[in-house]
Amino acid sequence: MCRRIFEGKGGSRLKRVTVTGAYGFIGRYVARAYHAAGFCVIGIGHGTWSAAEARAWGIDEWHDADVNIDSLQSYAQDCETIIHSAGSGSVGFSLMNPMKDFERTVWTTHYVLEYIRVFSPQTRFLYPSSAAVYGSQKKLPLSPDQPLQPISPYGVHKKVVEELCAMYASQYGVNIAALRLFSVYGEGLKKQLLWDACCKLSRGKYDFWGTGEETRDWIHVTDVARAFLFAGEKASAACPIFNVASGRAVTIAAVLDCLFQAYGASVRPFFGGEVNVGNPDHYEADIETITSWGWRPTVSLKKGIADYVRWYRQYEDSGLHTSSQ
């Protein structure tokens, strides 16, 4: 049961939020941030928590269930905000499974929006979109008002969801904000560049796609979780859409050099020149909107990578890495 109560105009009431996909990488950090801010956090999704794990990640109630209107009616009633972190989370998966990616990304979001429209119109909706909606662009930094031209199923599906959000906001008055997340990283992430690099180094390999001159705009997951708290105050029928990133482009080579150093490797990464299909060469975000609200990134890339390598070594030493292969 939820424990936190605060005084509102109508007296005491539960201050509840629902995080779908709370078992996932971003979802659990968002859940913990909201719990720390005094909210009762209801999680919906798939995964098995121990009681200690759930407490550590700020989960007050956990419901192992699909995200659909029935589960939302059962578990998300009287919530101030729904953060929809469930769904697909990778360009690679979308390239291999475009229909499944559509189902996970578009269908589940439509369920949440329709639930709010019909059953809970006072509930705010926060959606983690992606820099993938921009596609390959010549103009940098990327601004939320630029034309979108995604180049992967993942990016297309995120764009479709943003359009759904805008329609539900303008047509039905649903209070919404969409956060375009750039290269999110941090302890617990078991995919993408930093994870792949650590796995390769543990096997004595150091070859990577591309030239190393490709750029990404990195943002630590704890700063992303804080951004959702800011977004909750800005959700409205105007459906603001904004970037969440550091505002600084860093080459893949520089990131891997930093990781190799933190890992204690005596070699340097080798780049084979292969094209990373579905991913643009360069990302850099214009973060003027969210910084105007008082949000700033707080975790430096150097510290974030060092912390990630430390976490990876502990995870590897625990034996869980081997057992999950």
SS (H, E, C) 249-316: CEEHHHHHHHHHHHHCCCCCCEECCCCCCCCCCECCECCHHHHCCCCCCCCCHHHHHHHHHHHHHHHH
pLDDT for 3 = 44
- DSSP result, 169-238: HHHH---EEEEEE-EEE-TT--SHHHHHHHHHHHTT--EESS-S--EE-EEEHHHHHHHHHHHHHH-BTT
pLDDT tens by residue, 213-262: 999 999 999 999 999 999 999 999 999 999 999 999 999 999 999 999 99
pLDDT for 306 = 98
pLDDT tens by residue, 126-151: 999 999 999 999 999 999 999 999 99
pLDDT for 319 = 73
Residue for token pair 């705009």: 217
Return the axis-axis angle of helices 153-172 and 108-119, rounded to nearest 10°: 10
pLDDT for 89 = 79
Domain residues of the chain, as ranges?
A: 5-187+218-248+284-298
Distance CA 227, CA 229 (A): 5
Is the domain spanning 5-187+218-248+284-298 CATH 3.40.50.720? The answer is yes
Distance CA 72, CA 260 (A): 44
Residue 8 has pLDDT above 90, yes or no: no
For the chain, helix, strand, coil in percent to 5 are 45, 20, 40
pLDDT for 34 = 97
pLDDT for 325 = 45
pLDDT for 186 = 98
Return the axis-axis angle of helices 192-202 and 252-263, rounded to nearest 10°: 40
Distance CA 256, CA 206 (A): 10
Task: Categorize the per-residue pLDDT at 14 as very low, low, confident or very high, splitting at 50, 70 and 90.
Answer: low
pLDDT tens by residue, 254-313: 999 999 999 999 999 999 998 888 899 999 999 999 999 999 999 999 999 999 999 999
Given CA atoms 218, 223, 225, 230 in this order, what sign does their dihedral have?
A: negative
> Cα dist. 59→13, 24, 26 in Å?
19, 12, 14
Distance CA 47, CA 64 (A): 7
pLDDT tens by residue, 38-88: 999 999 999 999 999 999 999 999 999 999 999 999 999 999 999 999 988
Structure tokens at 256: 């891997």
Omega before residue 269 within 30° of 0, cis:
no
DSSP code of residue 147:
P
What is the pTM assigned to this prediction? 0.93
pLDDT for 50 = 93
